[in-house]
Every structure is written in C-alpha cells, then in structure tokens.
Amino acid sequence: MEQEKIVFCRGGGCTAKLGPAVLQRVLSKLPPPEDPNLLIGTESSDDAAVYRLSDDIAFVQTLDFFPPMVEDPHLFGQIAAANALSDVYAMGGKVRTALNIVCFPEDMKLDVLGEILRGGAEKVREAGGVLAGGHSIADKEVKYGLSVTGTIHPDHIRRNNTGHAGDLLVLTKPLGVGLICSAARVGQAPPGAMEAAVASMTTLNRWAAEAAETAGEAIHACTDVTGFGLLGHLAEMLRPAISARIFAKRVPALPGALQAADDCLYTAAAQRTRNHLAGRVRWQHVDFAMQELLLDPQTSGGLLFAVDPKAAPALQQACQKRGVFCAVIGELLPRMETDIIVEG
C-alpha cells in the first residue's frame, strides 16, 4: 500500500522563519537576563543559549521546528531533526538529549506521524544523543522539530561574532536548498537536484564539528547557515571593527540551484533578507542568480567557520578525512566602508 504523503508547504523548512528585522524588533523589547550563569541568551544572535552549571560544564539549549519541505514523512523527520541538532554543533557542544515537538492534524493517518518520529529518532541516535520524550498538539498543518540539550565547557564556547580580521571563512555544505525546493514545488527541479538537496539536509553537522576540533582555538567563530541564508548569518558574525569579503566564484552550489534562481524560483525569505541587508552589502560584478544563492534560506545548512589562515589547511584535511564537504569562500577584514563585499 502506498504511504500517505504530507503536504509540501509553501513556507516549509527554514523558509518559515520570521524575518531578521521582525525578530530584532521583538527581541529588543524583552527584559535583559540578570542571571550571571546565563552565558549566552537573547542579547546576541548566537545559535543556542548556554547556561553555566559549574566551572567545568554548561548546558547548550536550542529549539527548532517547521512545516515540511518534502512529501516523504520519514525524510522530513530526518531533516527537521538534523536541522535542530545543528545549533549545538555550531556552538561547539555535544548533543545529550532531545525532546520531540509535534503539531499534527487529527484527520491524518497516525502512520505518517510514526514515520516522522522514526526519522527524527534516527538522527538523534546518530548524533549520540537520547530521545527523552516530547509534546504534541492538534493543528491544521504538520510541523515537527526538536528541543535539544547539549553540554560544553564554559571556556570552549564557539560564539558567532568573535572572528578576527584575517580569518578565512570556511563553509561545510553547498548552498541552494531553498531554491531547489521552490523549483521542486512547481515541478521544475532538474533530475537529481532534489535528491542532492535531501542528501545535504539529512547530513548531520556532527562530522564537520568533529573536524573543527582538530583546529582547536584556531576556530575563532562559528555559525550554521539556515533560514537567513549565507549573507544573513554572515552579517550576524560581524561587529563594528570587522567586515567580510565573499568570493562568489568559490561559493559551492547544489546542482540546479543557480538555474532555479535564473528562473525566478526564489523564496520570500530570501527577499526579506535582501531587504534587511540593504546598504550593508556591496555587490561587485555578481549576477542575479549568484546573489539569490547567497541569500537563499538553507534548511539544515552547513557550518560557517572563521578560522586562522594557518589552521585552514588542517581543517580542510580533517573534513576531507571524514567525508565532509569543505570550501574556503571568503575572509574577515578590518572594518571597511560596508559590512560585506561580494566579489564576482
């Protein structure tokens, strides 16, 4: 018997995120935390919260869920889980426990939910964590994700905005997931494109994070590239003394992604990020398709490291040894007249 499919949502995956400008306005109204043990909270744009339990250990806490971007329930569960687990890896932590977050229609077959949860459980197990429970509610649309707890030494947290001028920017997955999903939604994805996107989305960032451990303190900053696209998350890595340069020709794209951009199959999320970054990015001989690729929202995207140039070759070798994709796509610079320069 053919398995029931879930609805391929217009705003599935990380394209469902609220825009960065909206989030900034809302979060700015929250009272600042007063607990000195909350090492990372809402005051920054880091990937997860970090709470110190002792001099030697801290909790890394994150939560992520969204509607489907694929029709296969099992694959959706894997993708949503891999995406949620990624924030712990971006901070340099180890995954310990996870809780399911489920929104599910009452009139849909429970076998579908079972397949979603099976996919999520597989990825938690692959991450070395324990699935400890969860919570579910009835909803008109399917949504799934995880609340994840990890651990880390308080002195070894990888923040996203502590890079140094001169650092190289290293990306561990190709871009284009949002563009390919948009193309697939209207039946215009070329053969093999969606399969390549799914393979990327279901790959844990655990192996990239383990490769980064070989570089130690030479990794000065890290984030994962998700709903705000490469440039949106890169902008969060900057601070007043630091700018960035991206070499567009070095940026890897999933097969079919640039064609989808040329065909104007881009996402509303990418346009929100473009508007948010208006005046902060200088494009130098970069065509429209590449611009869209750099703004494209990624679901379960790769890690973006700011690494000391002397340690970059060792990081690349460690990635290669573990079968992890790795590309040097840019650099951090002393403050320029604009935040981000993209060279074609």
Which residues have a catalytic role annotated? Answer: 14
* Residue 193: half-sphere exposure toward Cβ, Cα within 13 Å: 24
Q: Are 292 and 215 in contact (CB under 8 A)?
A: no
Q: Which residues of 85-106 are buried (b: 16+ CB within 10 A; e: fewer)?
A: bbbbbbbbbebbbbbbbbbbee
Beta bridge partners of 51: 38, 59
What is the side-by-side order of every strand in the sheet holding 143-152? 38-40, 49-52, 58-66, 143-152, 94-104, 130-138
Q: From 124, 177, 176, select the one nearest 146 (Cα to Cα).
A: 124
- The contacts found for 21-27 with CB under 8 angstroms, 24 or more apart, are 21/272, 21/275, 21/276
For 235, phi then psi, to 5°, come to: -60, -35
Q: How far is CA 282 from CA 69, 154, 293, 331, 337, in A?
A: 31, 37, 15, 15, 10
DSSP 144-205: EEEEEEEEE-GGG---SS---TTPEEEESS-B-HHHHHHHHHTT-PPTTHHHHHHHHHTS-T
Burial (CB < 10 A; 0-12, 13-18, 19+), residue 191, is exposed
CA angle 75, 158, 97 (to 5 degrees): 45
Please state, in angstroms and rounded to a whole number, the distance separating the CA atoms of residues 180 and 299: 11
Q: Which two tokens stand for residue 88?
A: 């712990």
Question: Using the 8-state DSSP alphabet, how is residue 216 labeled?
Answer: G
Please state, in angstroms and rounded to a whole number, the distance separating the CA atoms of residues 146 and 135: 10
